[in-house]
Amino acid sequence: MRKALEGVRVLDMTHVQSGPSATQILAWLGADVVKLEATTGDITRKQLRDLPDVDSLYFTMLNSNKRSITLNMKSDKGKQLFVDLVKKFDILAENFGPGAVDRMGFPWEKLQEINPKLIYASIKGFGDGPYKFYKAYEVVAQAMGGSMSTTGFPDGPPLATGAQIGDSGTGMHAVAGILAALYQREHTGQGQRVTVAMQHAVLNLCRVKLRDQQRLAHGPLNEYPNKEFGDEVPRSANASGGGQPGWAIKCAPGGPNDYIYVIVQPVGWAPITQLIGRPELANDPDWATPEVRLGKLDKMFQLIEDWSADHDKWEVLAKLNEHNIPCGPILSTKEIIEDESLADNEIVVKVDHPERGEFTTVGMPIKLSDSPAEVRRSPLLGEHNQEIYGNELGLSESDMAELKASGVI
């Protein structure tokens, strides 16, 4: 069965997480992604290792379905090989610091000359301006994109989210830009530059907080549980932040993840009162409408928690869903990795690796009916040098041996 991006070739100069997360999606969609690494390899091959001298899970879980070649871009021969490679690819992706590829001798203008159809995608920490040359990491992007200031409890410090919205979130934005440029090229025949900044991607994911920042000019944010409001959006703990109030309530036996998140819609209030053994509250004028409940959301969720604390989260889940009440148990990483439904949906998958053996990874989250993704293992360092340099660029065995001996590949 033909893949959606079959025939599309990606020269992947990305490393760590933001770039590899983008190119991995492209690989899952069927593109031929060739990871171009320094002779020492992507730094994450050695980071956070759980097994000695084996590619880390950090690397393997972000680089599946790719091929790997090595190249020393500081050498003249390496630069010439890079030119030869660029001519054969549709997309070049990188997430080095600002200007790094330019300093290698390949600004966008030169890349366009080498391959006018090339789509050149770059992920940076920040856009043009005073932050442009600042170093960016996941939590730095969260801090400067609006996430941390609005995450946490009102009386606590700003918090980072466990979701990698700075790195992988930016990678997903980059995928959208790359695919748009690829589609436009079908009409124009020309490649173009695609740039995404981590700060900008995080801000895009935090847009509802900018919505609320502007609403503050007209009074308190009534759907927030906060008692006081200043001139900026406060941290609102586990409030849903939307039109329907929600909260994480405790369940038995009271462990760190024995919680379920419950959203109370107007239509759900009456059945909730039945479940918690307080049916009289359904028509009580002090509780019956969303408007009167809004001023005492903490008391409302405490009433629900008084009931849920005597049941485990799976029992609470079942009872709430019987009445079509939106809810979801807080799943630990252990529960997620063991969840049969996630395995059945091939979003948690097992992959064999020649050095580490079988491991569990995240599968393709985007499902296409006519071109399903197959998750294959990540490549070993330089595993495909012969395929690319020998078979495609026509280098002889002696040429390859010389390049390796001189540290070019």
Q: What is the DSSP letter of 312?
A: B
User: What is the identity of the amino acid at 326?
Assistant: P
191/267 Cα distance (integer angstroms) = 52
Alpha helices in 87-122 (DSSP H): 100-103, 108-114
Residue 63 annotated in ligand binding = no
Say if CB 7 and CB 26 are below 8 A apart. Answer: no
pTM for this predicted structure: 0.95
Q: Cβ(204)–Cβ(212) under 8 Å? A: no
138 labelled binding-site residue: yes
Q: Average of pLDDT values for 262-281?
A: 97
| Residues whose CB falls within 8 Å of the CB of residue 218, separated by 6 or more in sequence, listed in order | none
Query: Which phi and psi angles does 284 have, rounded to 5°?
Result: -70, 125
Cα 82–chain centre separation? 29
- Does 103 count as an annotated binding residue? yes
Average pLDDT of the segment spanning 277-293: 96
- Average pLDDT of the chain is 97
Residue 242, pLDDT > 80, answer no
Provide the annotated active-site residues: 167
Percent of the chain at pLDDT > 70 equals: 100
Distance CA 342, CA 85 (A): 39
Handedness of CA 35, 38, 42, 45 (dihedral sign): positive
What pLDDT, on a 0 to 100 scale, did the predictor assign at position 162?
Answer: 96
- Asked if residue 295 belongs to a known ligand binding site, the reply is no
74's tokens: 């500081």
Residues 309, 303 contacting (CB under 8 angstroms): no
61 is in an annotated binding site: no
Report how far residue 209's alpha carbon sits from residue 15's, in angstroms, rounded to the nearest whole number.
Answer: 31
Strand partners, 32: 9
Q: How many CB atoms lie within 10 A of CB 300?
A: 19
Task: Give mean pLDDT, residues 174-199.
Answer: 98
Comparing 94-103, 234-243, 313-322, 372-381, the range with the smallest average pLDDT is 234-243
